[in-house]
Structure 1
């Protein structure tokens, strides 16, 4: 099975970059498929694990608007969603940018998911580890090198 090529998160750009994902992504909650796609996009930002965004038509799970929003200086205002699948509800487990700004307009309507809220998330055949901390939504894979933001003391980088 092919492995992901090595990438150093310290080499990712700032401002972040948006690129297509070559691998198939799969997310599971309660034994049910939350999403499965070969048409994802990912955001690469210095010291972050990649954040993966999935087209809404590849998400069979039920999504319910949740309270609150956040602001990204690059992408704009994010809306949050509860995710229901397999008889479970994961609160505020997904987010999207309904009207992203600038270079991130292609993300409009695409959905990102916190790996920590799912039973499992996969990039290709590899099960991901959630990015450290409870704010960032990156997915850590074995090919990533460098120091990944998210642990206490790294928020201000």
Structure 2
């Protein structure tokens, strides 16, 4: 699949640290309960892609799941793309940034959380940045990036 932000690996290495590159570009996973956003909650704001700063999740989408990674019940419309992931001997739904294709984590359905969607977007903290300002209106629809 093609994404608006088309940087190559050398360009990504120039803007991401090693752990961000491993997770966002090589589909890695951070250790559970280790991420800075696992236990971080805010009443307002937006979580953006650590690679391209595209808005992904509103602060009020986040919920306490106890899974060891930040969990969201929904994303900003159009911000996240889903792919089938058959690694590790099972089929899961991978989620990536719709602007740059950066790996975010996986989405799980039907786990019984009392959320509006009964979905859990299980996201690596390393894949995210947080802004207390609502960036969803600026650049979310136009595919702007920091490239």
More helix per residue: 1 or 2?
Answer: 2
Higher relative contact order (CA 8 A, sep 6+): 2
More strand per residue: 1 or 2?
Answer: 1
- TM-score class, shorter-chain normalisation, is 0.3 to 0.5
TM-score (norm 1): 0.41
